[in-house]
Every structure is written in C-alpha cells, then in structure tokens.
C-alpha cells in the first residue's frame, strides 16, 4: 500500500530523508553531514552537487524501510532557506558553490541599496529588509563575480534558485520551480505577487529569465524521474524550514505562533490572508500557498537562546549539561533579584541594537549557580515577551505559543513562558516539527487528507500544555526588573 510520506529535510549542517506513516507516525530516517566551506571571513558555501548526491543517497537508503518506492505516496521537501544555487539548465551542473544564508559577503551591495533609499519600498513590497541574509543580493554577487554564471546568463542557460528549487530540478530531470515560501525569502517576490517581480529583478540586477516559476506548497507540484527510484513519485509538499515547522506545529489560524528554541530562537505568527506590514523591523513572509491562495506570517528572531545555556556550561561551568538548568531553577523560589540580558551578540528584534552587550544585574553575596541558571532561563521568557509586544503592535496578538527546538525540552522554561506571556504554551511529543510540516503538506497534497487542516489534525500527535498561572504582582515585578536591566544593556 503506498501510504508512506518521504520527507527530504535539507538542513544547513546535514541532509536527511525521513519516513512518516500516513497518520504522522515517524518511521525511520537516514542522515549525512554536509561539508561547510569558509573561504574567507564571513563567507559560507556549500557544494550543491554534494547536497544533491547526499540527499538522493539518504532517500535511497531509507526506501527499503517503507517496502520500496511503490509504498511511497508522495515526497515532501523542506530546506534551509535563502541559500542560493546557480546551475546550467542544459547540463544540470552547478556553476559555482552555493552561497549559504549565513554568508555576509553582500553587505556592500545591501548598504549601497540602503544608501540609495530603497529599503522602505523593498520592505513594503517583499516584507524583507536589505540584509545579506536574503537571496537576491547573493544572486547578484554570483553574476558580478563568477564568469561561468555570467556566461550562462548571456547564453540563456542560467538557472538560479534556492535549495528546494535545485533539488526539484534534479529530482524531476529539469523542472525549474520555486515554492512560494522559499521564493518569499529572495527579495524578488512581492508578498502579493504571483511570480518573481520584473521590477525587483531589475533593482537587484538579477535576470528574470534565470528564475523558476513560483508554485504552490501542497498539491500536484512535480513528479520524480522514473530512473531515480524505479517509479515516478509525486512531489506533493514543499516549504522553507521555518514555514514548515510552523505548519508542523499546526499554526494554521491567525494568531497561532510557533517558537523554535535552538541556538537562537525563531518565531512565526500566522497572519491569515492579511499582508504583514511591520513598524518594528519584523519580517513579513509567505506562510503557505495552496491552490493559489496565500497565507502570511510575521517572523522575528532572537539571537541568543540555547547559546546562553551553552555559555553557562562552557565558560562559567555552572552546569555540566544544559538540562541541569531546570533542576537548578526549580531549587529556589526566585532568582533573588538577578536578571540576565543575554545581549552577548547585540540585541535582535525588536530592539535591533548591534552595539548592545550582555548585562547581569541584581547580584548579591546570596547569588549562586541556581540564581544565575534561573535568571538565564527567565531571560528566554523576557526576550519572547518583547517580541510578542512587537508582533502585537504590528497587528497580531498571540493566541497560543507552540514551542520546539532543543531548549523546549526544559519544562520549567516552558511554564515560565506561559506565565510571562500570559498565553498557553504547547509542546509536541514529537519535536521534528520541520519534517512533520513537509509531511503534512505532502500528505494533503497527494490526497491522503482532504486539506492541510485535516492532515495537521491527524498527524500532529500528543501535546504537553502549560497554562499561565503566575501571580500578577510577581509577573509585574519580573517585567519591571527586565525593563530596568535592558536599559543598562
């Protein structure tokens, strides 16, 4: 029976193939590490051919666990966003190394465009800021600096795309498409626009003809070449990783929010069909496009989340393993007035102060390991609260917060988030929400479920719920203490 979903989860440090049953149960996975190339300070590159070969190898390795290709109903793809691949359409070969989302080399192009006064208009149209993070200036850099890319553009054989676009080209043997969520990270798609925008392409110096067709994220998206797996398999789901995690957390109605607490924290709130407009330098992005209908999300991130716990462990030696912060926090009734503002790498949204540095306030002789560990965890709720205020000011208050990522395992932090945010917090039993989102898109896309909401309902699994319950006065005191410490940072 062909009712397994094969998810290709192409991340920054590794690529994986994961197998899900139709009810969302995780069956198996195969994983391979990806080589990181750092040719200069601030530059990060991947070998696109390696991404393809390893992704295919993982898929081939996992198929027997489903009973072979005949048992796969559909493929879902999710990927590191913003990373750019340039290849030749006629040969199918990459023309240069992929420029990875973390790469900062295009800062001069961005600052030139900012100085020329383009940021406000670009933000209004694309939801994004003029930052090297996004794909458009990376494409322009390749055209300006790689003779093979320029030559292919002149010959009319150049293809530019993000990673899902590259993988789909290879899987199908030549389709050049980009799903709407990945396309919305390029600076070349208007939030309201159907396809890549000619005017934005001109502004960024990217030939429109080198870009793929912008397509839906669920449905009849593409079909794999028969030679690859011995049979044609429909590709029925595609999404950038953060959008996929938001869908995997079933944030399908306006106000539903997911936060991923890893090294940093990524937060997305469903905005429904309303195009996001931010006064707080938050990002507007496409959350889903199904049957041509779009929903949008507001996105914000916090630079320092789990990395603060790593710092307590590795630099201060307060804990041996990250999870010990939980028992330390529980061992005392409060932090004894200690507050940590974790601006170790500046402050991100909504403060945007690159020059800010971390502070610890309220130290006394009574402050010990437990107080510092507790204050570190409390900082997660405070940073998230500031983000929530900015999201609310931009139009969408949070209704629930659904958490995932390595740090979400900390139940004390989860309860503190609920208390400080004053919204219910939910944590799924199965934390691979990025892969699960792509599985939901593919399962509904191939017709195993009538729509995405039914797929999410059936596939989401068990949840742990944390209900707000903090005493008002205690909460007010915490918020006031945080505000004072923030001023010091």
Host H or E run for residue 140: helix 135-145
User: Of 161 and 437, which has the nearer Cβ to ligand ADP?
Assistant: 437
Task: Find the shortest distance in angstroms from Cβ 230 to ligand ADP.
Answer: 34
Q: Rounded CA gap, 270 and 296, in Å?
A: 6
Kindly state whether residue 433 participates in binding ligand ADP, applying the rule CB under 6 A: no
What is the C-alpha R_g of the chain?
A: 23
Task: Find the shortest distance in angstroms from Cβ 281 to ligand ADP.
Answer: 22
Q: Rounded CA gap, 488 and 483, in Å?
A: 9
Kindly state whether residue 323 participates in binding ligand ADP, applying the rule CB under 6 A: yes
Residues 233-262 close enough to bind ligand ADP by CB under 6 A: 262
Strand partners, 32: 15
- Give yes or no for a contact between 127 and 191, defined as CB atoms under 8 angstroms apart: yes
Which is it for strands 177-179 and 213-215: parallel, antiparallel or unpaired?
parallel
Task: Find the shortest distance in angstroms from Cβ 407 to ligand ADP.
Answer: 4
Stretch touching ligand ADP by CB under 6 A, among 238-246, 280-288, 317-325, 383-391: 317-325
Cα separations in angstroms, 122 against 113, 191, 193, 299: 10, 11, 13, 16
| Binds ligand ADP (CB under 6 A): choice among 32, 263, 280, 454 | 263
Strand partners, 178: 214
Kindly state whether residue 409 participates in binding ligand ADP, applying the rule CB under 6 A: yes
Stretch touching ligand ADP by CB under 6 A, among 238-246, 301-309, 383-391, 444-452: 301-309
- Give yes or no for a contact between 263 and 307, defined as CB atoms under 8 angstroms apart: yes
User: Of 31 and 263, which has the nearer Cβ to ligand ADP?
Assistant: 263
Kindly state whether residue 309 participates in binding ligand ADP, applying the rule CB under 6 A: yes
Kindly state whether residue 310 participates in binding ligand ADP, applying the rule CB under 6 A: yes
Kindly state whether residue 405 participates in binding ligand ADP, applying the rule CB under 6 A: yes
Residue tagged 């710092």 (tokens): 311
User: Of 197 and 326, which has the nearer Cβ to ligand ADP?
Assistant: 326
Q: Rounded CA gap, 163 and 83, in Å?
A: 6
**Among residues 74, 66, 55, which one has the least CA distance to residue 26?**
66
User: Of 240 and 284, which has the nearer Cβ to ligand ADP?
Assistant: 240
Q: DSSP labels for 214-239? A: EE-SEEEEEE--HHHHSS--EEEEEE
| Binds ligand ADP (CB under 6 A): choice among 307, 367, 399, 470 | 307
End-to-end CA distance of the chain: 59
Kindly state whether residue 367 participates in binding ligand ADP, applying the rule CB under 6 A: no
User: Of 140 and 427, which has the nearer Cβ to ligand ADP?
Assistant: 427
Kindly state whether residue 410 participates in binding ligand ADP, applying the rule CB under 6 A: yes
User: Of 12 and 288, which has the nearer Cβ to ligand ADP?
Assistant: 12
DSSP 211: B
Kindly state whether residue 406 participates in binding ligand ADP, applying the rule CB under 6 A: yes
Q: Which residues bind ligand ADP (CB under 6 A)?
A: 262-263, 306-307, 309-310, 322-323, 325-326, 405-407, 409-410
């Amino acid at each position: 029976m062909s009712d397994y979903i094969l998810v290709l989860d192409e991340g920054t440090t590794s690529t994986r193939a994961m197998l899900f049953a139709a009810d969302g149960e995780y069956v198996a996975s195969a994983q391979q590490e990806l080589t990181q190339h750092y040719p200069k300070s601030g530059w990060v590159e991947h070998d696109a051919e390696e991404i393809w070969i390893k992704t295919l190898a993982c898929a081939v390795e996992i198929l027997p666990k489903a009973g072979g290709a005949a048992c796969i109903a559909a493929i879902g793809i999710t990927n590191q966003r913003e990373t750019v691949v340039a290849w030749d359409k006629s040969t199918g070969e990459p023309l240069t190394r992929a420029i990875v989302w973390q790469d900062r080399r295009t800062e001069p192009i961005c600052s030139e465009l900012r100085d020329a006064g383009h940021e406000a208009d670009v933000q209004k149209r694309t939801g994004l800021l003029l930052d090297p993070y996004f794909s458009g200036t990376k494409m322009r850099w390749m055209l300006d600096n790689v003779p093979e890319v320029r030559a292919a553009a002149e010959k009319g054989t150049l293809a530019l795309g993000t990673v899902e676009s590259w993988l789909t080209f290879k899987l199908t043997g030549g389709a050049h498409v980009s799903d709407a969520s990945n396309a919305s990270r390029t600076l070349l798609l208007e939030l309201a626009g159907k396809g890549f925008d000619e005017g934005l392409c001109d502004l960024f110096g990217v030939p429109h003809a080198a870009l793929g067709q912008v397509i839906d994220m669920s449905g009849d998206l593409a079909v794999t070449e028969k030679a690859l797996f011995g049979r044609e398999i429909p590709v029925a789901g595609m999404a950038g990783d953060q959008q996929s995690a938001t869908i995997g957390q079933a944030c399908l109605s306006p106000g539903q929010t997911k936060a991923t607490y890893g090294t940093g924290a990524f937060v997305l709130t469903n905005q429904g069909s309303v195009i996001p407009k931010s006064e707080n330098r938050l990002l507007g992005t496409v959350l889903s496009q199904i049957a041509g209908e779009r929903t949008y999300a507001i996105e914000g991130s916090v630079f320092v989340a789990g990395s603060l716990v790593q710092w307590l462990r590795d630099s201060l030696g307060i804990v041996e393993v990250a999870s010990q912060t939980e028992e330390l926090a529980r061992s005392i009734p409060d932090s004894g007035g200690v507050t940590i503002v974790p601006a170790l790498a500046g402050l991100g949204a909504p403060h945007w102060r690159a020059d800010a540095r971390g502070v610890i306030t309220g130290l006394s002789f009574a402050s010990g390991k437990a107080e510092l560990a507790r204050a570190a965890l409390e900082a997660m709720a405070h940073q998230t609260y500031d983000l929530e205020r900015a999201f609310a000011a931009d139009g969408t208050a949070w209704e629930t917060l659904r958490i995932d990522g390595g740090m979400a395992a900390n139940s004390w932090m989860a309860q503190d988030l609920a208390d400080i945010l004053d919204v219910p917090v939910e944590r799924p039993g199965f934390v691979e929400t990025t892969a699960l989102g792509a599985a939901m898109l593919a399962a509904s896309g191939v017709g195993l479920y009538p729509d995405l909401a039914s797929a999410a309902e059936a596939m989401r699994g068990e949840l742990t719920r944390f209900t707000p319950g903090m005493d008002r006065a205690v909460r007010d005191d915490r918020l006031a203490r945080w505000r004072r410490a923030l001023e010091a940072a």
